[in-house]
């Protein structure tokens, strides 16, 4: 399904498009994930995480929180995608419906003591629900791929170019995360080899929607030359992407990333480089805020005088 650019967006100034604008449904859906995770954590404290024979409330907690975080990130960047109203509405409600089903099946099945994906104890109805869950997961993969293509198709003039740059890198990371997700669906398991675990690659890859976009947002208004700001986003994003690739290589070898070998060590090094750029973006953002605070204080003092 192709996505067409809405030509009306071309008239907007660089700062006119706001994050989250018009995405109330996605914001509410994302918050629901955190609310569910909160209540599940209370249940874990009260009775423990294991529900026999296969259920894990810890999995429910992490899944609902992760989906909530993902959907809030989509809500933030969707206004920047230059989609027509019809296409944007389709993407919005597809994510909402897919998320609501995912919250429901993950929570209900685990509470019943069943693995919602790879159950060995499920009845026929539960197996059908699990199959639908797999299809819903593939739908989210396809929607992410469609959005990635759309963000790479956007041509100048760019609205908020640094955010667009961070978003493009983030979707490349999400693409690798989705590859890990498809691998789990195909294998009907998260593990490969002796100790490889696709779930780590899957989860970390998706978090690029925060780790690469937030630094780009922080550095947007910094009083620094645009080339330097763009360079900072590039360096941080490339370091993140390289670390994700190393995690992928280690996982494909069937080995854990928590061992002292070449790929985990390189992963740690490049993650530290990314962290350095993220901290630099935060410092530049804070430095940009201080003059404004001082100016407000001076204005108040003059007014009082």
Instruction: Let me know whether 239 and 121 are in one domain.
Output: no
Task: Tally Cβ neighbours within 10 Å of residue 143.
Answer: 17
* 173, part of any domain: no
216 and 139, same structural domain? no
230 inside domain: yes
- 174, part of any domain: no
| Averaged pLDDT score across all residues of the chain | 89
Residues 134 and 213 in one domain: no
Query: Do residues 137 and 280 share a domain?
Result: no
Residue 156 has pLDDT above 90, yes or no: no
What separation in angstroms does the CA of 182 have from each of 74, 162, 179, 189? 20, 30, 5, 10
d(CA 231, CA 216): 11
Is residue 292 one of the residues assigned to a domain?
A: yes
Whether residue 175 lies inside any domain: the answer is no
Query: Number of folded domains in the chain?
Result: 2
Provide the residue range defining the domain that includes 290. Answer: 184-300
Q: Above 50 in pLDDT, residue 219?
A: yes
pTM for the whole thing? 0.86
The 10s digit of each residue's pLDDT in 92-131 is 999 999 999 999 999 999 999 999 987 888 889 999 999 9
Instruction: Specify whether 153 is located in the same domain as 191.
Output: no
Q: How far apart are CA 271 and CA 254, in angstroms?
A: 21
Whole-number percent of the chain with pLDDT over 90: 75
Vertex 293, ends 291 and 296: CA angle to 5°? 110
Q: Where are the alpha helices (DSSP H) in the chain?
A: 24-47, 57-77, 85-111, 124-153, 161-187, 198-206, 208-211, 213-219, 226-252, 262-304
> Is residue 209 located within the same domain as residue 243?
yes
Q: Measure the CA dihedral 165/170/171/174, to 10°.
A: 170
State yes or no: pLDDT of 188 exceeds 70. yes
* 148 has pLDDT over 50: yes
pLDDT at 12: 36
pLDDT tens digits for range 76-94: 999 999 999 999 999 999 9
**Both 30 and 143 in a single domain?**
yes
- Looking at residue 104, its pLDDT comes to 97
Residue 21 counted as domain residue: yes
252-262 pLDDT per residue, tens: 999 999 999 99
Residue 240 has pLDDT above 60, yes or no: yes
- DSSP states of 177-246: HHHHHHHHHHHTSSEETTTEEHHHHHHHHHTHHHHTHHHHHHHTT-SS-HHHHHHHHHHHHHHHHHHHHH
Tokens of residue 226, six digits: 């645009």
Residue 13 pLDDT? 40
Of 166 and 292, the one with more pLDDT: 166
Q: Could you tell me if 201 and 134 lie in one domain?
A: no
Question: In this structure, which long-range contacts are made by residues 243-249, counting pairs with CB atoms below 8 Å and at least 24 apart in sequence?
Answer: 243/267, 243/270, 243/271, 243/274, 244/173, 244/176, 244/201, 244/204, 244/205, 244/208, 245/176, 246/270, 247/200, 247/201, 247/204, 248/176, 248/179, 248/180, 248/201
DSSP 13: -
Query: At 299, is the pLDDT very low, low, confident or very high (cuts 50, 70, 90)?
Result: low
Residue 170 covered by a domain: no
Q: Is 248 a domain residue?
A: yes
Q: Which two tokens stand for residue 224?
A: 């620094």
Give the residue with greater pLDDT, 1 vs 23. Answer: 23
Looking at the structure, tell me whether residues 34 and 153 fall in a common domain. yes
Q: What is the pLDDT of residues 264-293, one digit of tens each?
A: 999 999 999 999 999 999 999 998 877 655
> Up-side HSE of residue 42: CA atoms within 13 Å toward CB?
5
- Is the pLDDT reported for residue 294 higher than 90? no
Question: What 3-state class would DSSP assign to 84?
Answer: coil
CB 126 within 8 A of CB 114: yes
CA dihedral 52, 38, 218, 167 (to 10 degrees): 40
Query: Does residue 229 surpass a pLDDT of 60?
Result: yes
Q: Do 2 and 149 belong together in one domain? A: yes
């Amino acid at each position: 399904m192709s996505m067409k650019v809405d030509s009306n967006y071309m008239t907007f100034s660089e700062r006119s498009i706001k994050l989250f604008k018009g995405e109330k449904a996605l914001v509410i859906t994302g918050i629901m994930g955190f609310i569910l995770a909160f209540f599940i954590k209370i249940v874990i404290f009260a009775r423990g995480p294991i529900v026999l024979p296969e259920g894990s409330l810890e999995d429910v907690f992490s899944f609902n929180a992760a989906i909530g975080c993902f959907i809030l990130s989509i809500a933030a960047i969707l206004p920047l995608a230059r989609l027509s109203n019809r296409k944007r509405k389709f993407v919005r409600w597809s994510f909402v419906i897919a998320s609501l089903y995912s919250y429901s099946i993950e929570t209900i099945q685990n509470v019943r003591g069943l693995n919602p994906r790879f159950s060995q104890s499920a009845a026929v109805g539960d197996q059908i629900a699990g199959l639908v869950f797999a299809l819903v997961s593939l739908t989210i993969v396809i929607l992410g791929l469609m959005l990635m293509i759309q963000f790479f198709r956007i041509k100048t003039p760019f609205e908020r170019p640094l955010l667009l740059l961070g978003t493009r890198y983030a979707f490349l990371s999400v693409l690798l995360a989705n590859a890990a997700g498809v691998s789990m669906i195909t294998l009907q398991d998260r593990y490969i080899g002796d100790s490889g675990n696709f779930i780590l690659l899957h989860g970390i890859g998706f978090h690029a929607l925060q780790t690469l976009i937030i630094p780009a947002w922080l550095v947007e208004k910094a009083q620094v030359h645009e080339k330097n700001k763009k360079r900072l986003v590039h360096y941080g994003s490339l370091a993140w992407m390289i670390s994700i690739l190393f995690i992928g290589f280690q996982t494909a070898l069937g080995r854990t990333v928590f061992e002292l070998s070449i790929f985990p060590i390189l992963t740690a090094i490049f993650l530290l480089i990314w962290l350095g750029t993220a901290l630099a973006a935060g410092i530049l953002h804070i430095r940009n805020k201080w003059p404004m605070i001082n100016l407000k204080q001076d204005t108040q003092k003059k007014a009082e005088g």
